[in-house]
Structure 1
């Protein structure tokens, strides 16, 4: 419980008492163990390893956050130079200091350490030292199975040495300098890039590490080329790309930005002198892929047909990424090109605003088919030779995933899961989540710029079903053609990467939390029955006192929700002030654990505010054709109308705050509303016209692209000046009628701090009550417990206490308010 005085050092100490389970949980290869990270400011961070089998759970504590399993027999953990190995069979631990890197050799049940004094040591699971190699100065890589490979210089030659812990041997030697050494994705081949004395060429060497380093391929590549090997059909062939990066001399005086340059300020992404080959591993046949000058080549997971295109053709940064234009299919056998035209990214609905998929072209595992969209709305199925097979005449189909055998395509959507039978050309709703968002969990994806191979590795499929309106989630398993509910619908949140399962998908595990419940680990049996198996002994009894209500309302023709949290010590006889946090759609946040250490969005501190006697309200806002500002205003007014039916909210003591997109909405609403007693706006845009025409150094592109995505204007200023003017806060800055606290980081490259300064200057010109906080080393967001976050949190609490709780003895605010009164 916070003291009544609410001193900020007391609050910090109070927050430090709260631990939580977090990070990315890990599950061992057979699902017998799960590793979880625990964050604890007082006792220090650590990890726990918990057995999933048996009625009595075995739990091991490791004082490290980074862990990796060695099959079911051990855990290798590391924090900085300190490494610890835990033997899960005996329970014994082995500790090592002064290490640079740690490795596992899974097939051999061994682990290896590269030490700061350049030793490479290999141990068995009992901690016995098996091998100690000195003077290891070069690169060390591993297949994580049975071997380590070291690059060393010896007698004027570059060598690659193979080590297992029983022996070492030189498997490759060259007079050239080895520039790079890496595995192919399947770990079947070792790829070596050599720098030669030749003025025009370097060398690419591929060897077989399982066959004493047998040379499989030797290829001349352009000098200083960056090389990629993309697997085709699990290593049946490889698409080899060699590209030389464009370099330019840096002018210390002048930068030239051309209006027709599709790479403006991104020349580091340009490549010259490109070459492409297809290498067939079975017969070692190598063929060069000859495409028009400067064209790129991407894999369609086929060893005959390839996607080729001129990079960034017609790109003017209107989209977040360059669209795929003037695409062609190259036929290696006939040496011909088939024109397939321009493609767009398909929309995907999210829990907040609409997003776009990350790739234009999705390929099957057998390389026979690919999907793409001309309009970003409907999918077209193509044969890999570029022949259009069929337009799938339905909107709203999102991420495509091919079945293992390539006979079907499954589509995620915001309304059920869909299946397309390729042979019958028939689309079917699978009726697993009608009216709900579906996501396929266990698909495999392999990316090559514009293309992505997307398929199920088995006949089984795990599907997430999410009810956006109720914030309820469940999971179903498709096995042998039948659907089975493996995790029943629940209101708890499953944390990011918090769903785990064993290889045969008979046991499921989740990391779950809710607004009044810290994260904990649960198991589900074959009947969907739930059992808590680990909670980290985290005590937060006061969280159980948190009360939440969901208020429904309509705006912009949509059904929306607002989340209301009650003060911890709520008394129905009293009235309380309320703080409104605005951003976008927020219904999905209703089951996030309200840890006092959760500070997102920056400065909000929901839990701390509840402890101090505030209501906190998180309403949904969305965007219509009115534009983002006017839409937010309608949404917020209707949200307030709904929640103010609550008789315990003091209508005269309501504050509004937001950061980033929420900062823009706070700025806009402050210029159009008289319903708030005070405002806080952080890192928000105040002038959407100047912002539209600004350059975003965080995203390395002109900022007008964001008005087709987050801000959903979908037009330019010249096409719709009236709507841009009506949605720009700065143009009504003189109408702000309540005190406002502004803040920004001066290192912010996402929303430049001059946007906040512009709003401050406008408010100052019209003699409004404003205080601006500019953090000299602050970015767009502040790390938890950083000096910036601590300082901001302190000022935010002061601001609300001053204007909503009438605590008027705060000097830094009185410097503005009381001087005005004099």
Structure 2
């Protein structure tokens, strides 16, 4: 159905503000006296989120969200002022170049963007474009039956499939594998999605349902599984259907000659089906064929053994909800045989060498391993013969190190500070970076912390691996024949990375045959950059070895959007005094223009600005961000709040909406408007001396600001949350620099915390101190003096700073007892402190009413002690 309502909004030459005033207006605010921001004004601010750009780059969709919930979705031209506003619509999608569709109130609405004509598809639950955007596939209900409806772009129903039990689109999204349940019978079919839909029935009239539907990479084969609720009624099967030959192959878990002994098919959807690229193998899930029974009664006593591989709370859940151990299996279709992959229970696997080889993880080499990534043995299995051998002994977890070449031949991994490859054809390990002069992991830049790699960006068109160091990208031969640096970030103090929208990261997908991104440097790629000296970020294009800037100025750029039009990219841009906006960059013209501005009323209000400060700690030169009070007057001395959490330079050009709602109760814009300087210092750490490191760096940063004469040294506060809460506790126990402090969900007693059970990790928290953020590097029993040195509790008697402490009572990350211990110590020592405990909250506050309460109390606490604004709840 078409309706020519044509709500296309034509913007006049003068600025017309629609809803939130999103159109740039150069004269707005000129000559107008700026207002002081008050709490009554907070509701004006909305948050910008860019969603998508049309294929031709001529339209962009984005949303402005408000705390009140009055959100609006917009679709705007990138070439003109034409725009559609769609209140209360959460999101939608472009269909081709000139249509936009979204779901609202049980119907799909399609807008022809050029004409404004709207088409409606009634009574559907969801919708998506298929076959290159030529058609729409929607889910609907019909007499308690789930139906799939295929429509053309004018809303005409072309095909309808009902009684759908499950479905999977192929990679090209022009064909559908689906299952039906009708008249007590199950069927599975393939249908092409077009005006003339061709249907192929694979199996019909089955008594057993089908699940785990999967397509091959080339869309020429499908796999699925059948599994009866009562396994004694019908044996489970894995099926492979070759579309070209119309041949159906099956593997039964009841056939002892071909199926792994003692195993049965697993219903666990995490153990999905995957077809090798040559269709010769299907990977599937199995589980031990054992009888399981749940234990419902509670244990009379909890039994925690010293040698438990999993701790008691997890054991209790296993008793309540027992599951057979799962394994990854591979079915060699031509040989009609199946084998189990690797050793032990399925945890992680990666398909290599066109899925001829499988790399899998075993058990942790030491179940009490205290590192962030437990060291594990990794195995390589021949998927045809089942022969398994050790590939890597006691190696960190896969998320930290692994990447597979697109052809599956090479596995890259980080070992002892260098990148290595394993050649599945030559069966050879090679150190490929030993001769290159660079640092590939974080052991120097983050001493005392878990060692991470700087990552692998991808693999290039010549088969080289693209590896990141701290600043640059290198192209390195996987066979060890050398490499070269392809960016020059180190000299400019920039850090280059692949732009986020180019891909989803370098880590492989678990049991995948195509785990790493292939980048054609000949066609050019988009890179992000970060300036390590001023916190500014942006985008460039690497083309034929040259860097072409796409953004400039002291702003942050993010959320890059590319499209099929190679001449245009879009990204978001913001600065501390610049609300987020959408910018379009014309690559041929080398010119950018602002498409959308958010919160244009911002320029009517007094606002602060950010400044980079420098300070020295021993021989280290550090940076910090200093936020000025809104309406700053030179010559006056202001109070200052210091917010701490490791390194914060990246926040120098972050725009913050003023708001009563914050998960930590700390809002920079609010506090700047209330007349505070805000200091965000960087902290460098010496292993074993974490608290002292924070004290040294924060003191040096504060001193450098005070010497400049703008801050009153008697009116300085400090605030931190989580690890920053620990640092706050430590600093006020060792310094009289601060007149007020707030510690949220922070550690007060590292000894107790070290020996505490972590609800969130189901492990004892040794690892946080020996190999993670606390950077002590040694266990308590090995170096008790370091735990005493880093304990705020042991120095609490020296605290003179009034302390506000808060925590969620259900925090699974930092036990709320840590906040209570600090409160109890302050109370016993008769020192000024208040403890806020929020029921039903976790590590950061989620409920709006609690966020508003904490934000109010944070600002009231600092107002009471730094500005003399007395508060009854404090007194």
Kindly indicate whether residue 100 of structure 2 is the aligned counterpart of residue 90 of structure 1.
no
Residue 652 of structure 1, aligned match among 676, 692, 714: 714
Report whether the alignment pairs 1:177 with 2:208: yes
In 1, distance between residues paired with 2:245 and 2:154? 29
Q: Which deviations, in whole Å up to 9, do the C-alpha atoms of 1:413-471 show, x marking residues without a partner?
A: 11322221245611322243124323223357541279983232434433323222222
Residue 363 of structure 2 is aligned to residue 311 of structure 1: yes
Which residue of the partner structure matches residue 463 of structure 2?
407
Partner of 1:546: 608
User: In the alignment, is residue 362 of structure 1 matched against residue 403 of structure 2?
Assistant: yes
Q: 1:56 aligns with which of 58, 80, 83?
A: 80
The residue correspondences of 1:607-626 to structure 2 (distance < 5 A) are 607-626=669-688
Q: If the length of structure 1 is used for normalisation, what is the TM-score?
A: 0.87
Distance 2:802 2:98 in 1: 61
1:502 aligns with 2:533: no
Are 2:304 and 1:249 aligned?
Answer: no
- Distance of aligned partners of 1:82 and 1:207 in 2 relative to their CA distance in 1, 3 Å threshold: same
**Alignment-derived partner of residue 818 in structure 1:** none
Are the aligned partners of 2:374 and 2:396 in contact in 1 as well (CA < 8 Å)? no
1:403-802 alignment, distance < 5 Å? 403-405=459-461, 407-422=463-478, 425-434=481-490, 435-441=493-499, 442=502, 446-448=508-510, 453-459=515-521, 460-479=524-543, 481-495=544-558, 498-503=559-564, 505-526=566-587, 528-536=590-598, 538-542=600-604, 545-555=607-617, 557-597=619-659, 602-707=664-769, 708-783=771-846, 786-802=848-864
Match of 1:591, SS? coil
The yes-or-no answer on 1:320 pairing with 2:367 is no
C-alpha change, 1:165 and 1:369, in structure 2 (3 Å) is: closer
Distance (Å, rounded) in 2 between the aligned partners of 1:670 and 1:304: 60
1:330 equivalent to 2:392? Answer: no
510 and 292 in structure 1: CA distance in 2 versus 1, 3 angstrom threshold: closer
**How much does 1:130 deviate?**
3.8
Cα distance in 1 between the residues matched to 2:489 and 2:324: 45
Q: Name the stretch that deviates more: 764-773 or 262-271.
A: 262-271
Asked if residue 205 in structure 1 is aligned to residue 239 in structure 2, the reply is yes
Partners of 1:489 and 1:237 in 2: CA distance: 52
SS at match of 2:516: strand
Deviation (angstroms), 1:43 = 7.8
Q: Partners in 1 of 2:820 and 2:512 — Cα distance?
A: 40
Query: The residue matched to 1:690 in structure 2 has which SS?
Result: helix
- Note the alpha carbon deviations across 1:271-303, whole angstroms, 9 max, x for none: 6252521557xx797653565555767234213
Aligned length: 785
- Distance in 1, matches of 2:862 and 2:747, equals 22
Q: Equivalent residues in 2 for 1:16-95 (5 A)?
A: 16-22=43-49, 25-41=51-67, 44-52=70-78, 55-63=79-87, 64-78=89-103, 83-94=108-119
- Offset of residue 58 of structure 1: 3.6
**Partner residue of 2:309?**
262
The CA deviation at 1:717 is: 1.2
Rounded Cα–Cα distance in structure 2 between residues aligned with 1:505 and 1:430: 22
Give 3-state SS (helix, strand or coil) of 2:686's partner. Answer: coil
Asked if structure 2 preserves the Cα contact closer than 8 Å seen for 1:180 and 1:192, the reply is yes
Q: Which residue of 1 aligns with 2:248?
A: 215
Name the CA distance, whole Å, in 1 between partners of 2:222 and 2:367: 37
| In 2: Cα distance, 1:404 partner to 1:229 partner | 29
Work out the CA distance in 1 between the residues paired with 2:514 and 2:761.
Answer: 23
Cα displacement (A) at 1:547: 2.1
Find the aligned partners of 1:451 and 1:321 in 2 and give their Cα distance.
24
Q: Structure 1's 360 and 41: CA in aligned 2 closer, same or farther, altered over 3 A?
A: closer
Instruction: Report Cα offsets for 1:585-642 as digits up to 9, x if no partner.
Output: 0000111112113966611111111111111111112321242211100011101111
Alignment check: 8 A CA contact 1:583 1:658 kept = yes
Distance in 1 separating the partners of 2:266 and 2:554: 54
Distance 1:293 1:666, change over 3 A: closer
CA root-mean-square deviation:
3.4
* Cα 1:42/1:95, change in 2 over 3 Å: farther
Q: How far has the Cα of 1:396 moved from its partner? A: 2.2
Q: Conserved in 1, the CA contact under 8 Å of 2:458 and 2:518?
A: yes
Q: Which moved more, 1:218-227 or 1:621-630?
A: 218-227
Is 607-616 or 117-126 further displaced after alignment? 117-126
Partner of 1:299: 350
Post-superposition shift, 1:753? 1.1
The unaligned stretches of length 5 or more in structure 2 are 1-32, 254-262, 441-453
Distance 2:854 2:713 in 1: 26
**Are residues 573 and 407 of structure 1, via their aligned partners in 2, closer, same or farther at CA, if it must alter by over 3 Å?**
closer
Q: Give the C-alpha shift of residue 407 in structure 1.
A: 3.0
Does 666-675 or 140-149 show the bigger shift?
Answer: 140-149
Q: Of residues 362, 367, 384 in structure 1, which corresponds to 2:424? A: 384
In the TM superposition, residue 204 of structure 1 has moved relative to its aligned partner by 1.9
Select 1:396's aligned residue among 423, 439, 444: 439
Change (3 A) 1:105 1:703: same
TM-score, normalization by structure 2: 0.82
Contact 1:443 1:456 in 2 (8 A): no
Other structure's SS at 2:751 match: helix
Deviates more, 1:284-293 or 1:405-414: 284-293
Aligned residues of 1:741 and 1:771 also touching (Cα < 8 A): yes
The answer to whether the Cα contact below 8 Å between 1:501 and 1:509 also exists between their aligned partners in 2 is yes
> Is the contact made by 1:181 and 1:190 (CA closer than 8 Å) also made in structure 2?
no
DSSP-derived class of the 1:453 partner: coil
Q: CA deviation at 1:216?
A: 5.0
- Structure 1: any 5+ residue segments left out of the alignment? 347-356, 815-822
Report the 3-state secondary structure (helix = DSSP H, G, I; strand = E; otherwise coil) of the residue aligned with 1:310: strand
My pick for the range that moved more, 731-740 or 119-128, is 119-128
The alignment partner of 1:138 has SS state of: strand
**CA-to-partner distance for each residue in 1:315-338, whole Å, 9 max, x for gaps?**
32513343332x333345676444
- Match of residue 341, structure 1, among 359, 367, 392: 392
Alpha-carbon contact 2:418-2:431 (below 8 Å) kept: no
Deviations 1:498-540 (A, max 9, x none): 1122347442211111111111111222254221122256431
What residue is the counterpart of 2:225 in the other structure? 193
Q: Which has the higher contact order (CA 8 A, sep 6+)?
A: 2
State the distance in 1 between where 2:664 and 2:69 align: 25
**What's the CA shift string for 1:380-428, capped at 9, x where partnerless?**
2221254223352155223124534463111111132222124561132
Give yes or no for contact 1:413–1:439 (8 Å, CA) kept in 2: no
Query: Would you tell me which structure has more strand in proportion to its own residues?
Result: 1
**Residues 366 and 201 (structure 1), Cα distance of their counterparts in 2 relative to 1, 3 Å cut:** same
Distance change >3 Å, CA 539–CA 787, structure 1 → 2: same
